[in-house]
Amino acid sequence: MSYPSQQSTPALLVRGLSKSFGERLAVDGVGFRIAAGEIYGLLGPNGAGKTTSISMIAGILARDAGEITIGGIDIDAGAPARALIGIVPQAITLYLDLTARENLDFWGRMYDLGGAALRDAIDGALDAVGLTRRADDIVGTYSGGMQRRLNLACGILHRPKLVILDEPTVGVDPQSRSAIFDLVERQRDAGAAILYTTHYMEEAERLCARIGIIDSGRLIAEGTRAELVASLGQQARIEIGVGRGDSPERAERIVSALEGVLSTTVENSHLHVIADHGANRLPTMLTALLKAGTVTESVRVVEPNLEDVFLRMTGRALRD
């Protein structure tokens, strides 16, 4: 399959990116590219290396090895490359004792905006995140969701070619989450490349054209959602609910020993099983559990998703 990024200068090109902290290899040879107008999701659990990777891409953290270019400009060029990036860190990086307008004004000027262009950009950003009426209030008086939205507005004010969003929806209310999604999609439609890190599978599935799955510092899979799910082949996920008096862990031991069972996890008292030709294996599983005296209360064959891809590739759940 051919992607737009492979046909012209990508908005972001990352090759062989590596970083160690002492003995610990935090990022190990990560590489990917993002085209203009594309949302690329970096999906992985906490501690997988997402934030370290984007810190290097944004030029905040020195890398040990690898190549990063933004719109064809090497990140080591410094200010010219960083001017093309808009970063939205995971933490709320706002001056809480200034107003929203003062925050935007400061960040706009730091990216060399000024005059009418800056005023227009500020008004546009405030409108986009729904904070026009509260623009002159001190940010410290905002709710968490409003601060999150302003955090995003500060990152896109200067209309960057590459927007890096590091888990932008952590701890926000559904209304703010929806507003953030809309804003991200508008940035994409305006031609910006988006690098979106998350450990929420649903967000990656909803927003991202392509997804890179990262674990233990390595990019272990990459593709569209359909491609990643297709990589599971005939595998299916089966959810088995066991009786109240039975231990799901015991059920896991029984099922994992059966032929064709590829991985098992226990979550919320349910046993999750990935198996080749899952539906065909179901009778064997249920018989084995019955023979062991385990009561099966519910059974569900689930269409595979990114969670299953991650589970299959790492043997762990995404939120472990």
Partner 1 sequence: MRHALLVCIKDLRQRLRDRTAILTAIAAPLALTALMGFALGSSGGSGPGMRLVIADLDHSALSSAFVAFVQRPSLGGKVKIELVDSVDAAERLIREHQAECAVMMRAGFAQSVARGDPPPVEILAARGEQFAMLATRGLLSDFVNRAAAPPDRTAPEVIPRSAGGQMRIVDFFAASMTVLFLNFGVLSGVRALQAEVDSRTIVRLIASPTQPYAIVAGKLAALLLLGLIQMGTMIAATSILFGTRWGNPLPTAALMFTSVLMSIGLTAFLMSLANNADQGTALAALVITLLSIVGGQFLPPQGLPDIFETLTRLTPNGQAFFGFIDLSAAGSYGSLRTVAQPLAFTAIVGLSGIGLAGLRARSALRRIT
Comparison of 108 and 212: residue with beta carbon closer to partner 1: 108
Q: Is 288 in the site for partner 1 (CB under 8 A)?
A: no
Using CB under 8 A, which of the segments 64-72, 74-82, 200-208, 228-236 binds partner 1?
Answer: 74-82
Residues 247-286 that bind partner 1 (CB under 8 A): none
Comparison of 52 and 265: residue with beta carbon closer to partner 1: 52
Comparison of 40 and 107: residue with beta carbon closer to partner 1: 107
CB of 139 to partner 1, least distance (A): 11
CB of 14 to partner 1, least distance (A): 16
Q: Is 71 in the site for partner 1 (CB under 8 A)?
A: no
CB of 58 to partner 1, least distance (A): 5
Comparison of 60 and 230: residue with beta carbon closer to partner 1: 60
Write the binding mask 79 to 98 for partner 1: x where contact by CB under 8 A, - elsewhere. xx-xx-x-x-x-xxxxxxxx
For partner 1, which residue of 64, 106, 315, 319 counts as binding (CB under 8 A)?
106
CB of 93 to partner 1, least distance (A): 4
Q: Widest CA span of the chain, in angstroms?
A: 77
Which residue in the block uniquely carries the two structure tokens 């012209």?
A: 8
Exposure class string for 185-212: b at 16+ Cβ within 10 A, else e: eebbeeebbbbbbbbbbebbbebbbbbb
DSSP string for residues in the chain: ---GGGTS--SEEEEEEEEEETTEEEEEEEEEEE-TT-EEEEE--TTSSHHHHHHHHTTSS--SEEEEEETTEEGGG-HHHHTTEEEE-SS--S-TTSBHHHHHHHHHHHTT--HHHHHHHHHHHHHHTT-GGGTTSBGGGS-HHHHHHHHHHHHHTT--SEEEEESTTTT--HHHHHHHHHHHHHHHHTT-EEEEEES-HHHHHHH-SEEEEEETTEEEEEE-HHHHHHTTTTEEEEEEEEPTTS-HHHHHHHHHTSTTEEEEEEETTEEEEEEETHHHHHHHHHHHHHHTTPPEEEEEEE---HHHHHHHHHSS-TT-
Q: How many residues bind partner 1 (CB under 8 A)?
A: 30
Comparison of 98 and 299: residue with beta carbon closer to partner 1: 98
Comparison of 24 and 291: residue with beta carbon closer to partner 1: 24
Comparison of 101 and 237: residue with beta carbon closer to partner 1: 101
Comparison of 63 and 281: residue with beta carbon closer to partner 1: 63
Which residue in the block uniquely carries the two structure tokens 């590829």?
A: 262
Cα 189 versus chain centre, distance: 19
CB of 287 to partner 1, least distance (A): 54
Residues 9-68 that bind partner 1 (CB under 8 A): 55, 58-61
Residues 119-178 that bind partner 1 (CB under 8 A): 154-155
How far apart are alpha carbons 315 and 233 in whole angstroms?
17
Comparison of 164 and 207: residue with beta carbon closer to partner 1: 164
Q: Is 102 in the site for partner 1 (CB under 8 A)?
A: yes
CB of 83 to partner 1, least distance (A): 4
Give me the residues that bind partner 1 (CB under 8 A), please.
Answer: 55, 58-61, 78-80, 82-83, 85, 87, 89, 91-98, 102, 106-107, 109-112, 154-155
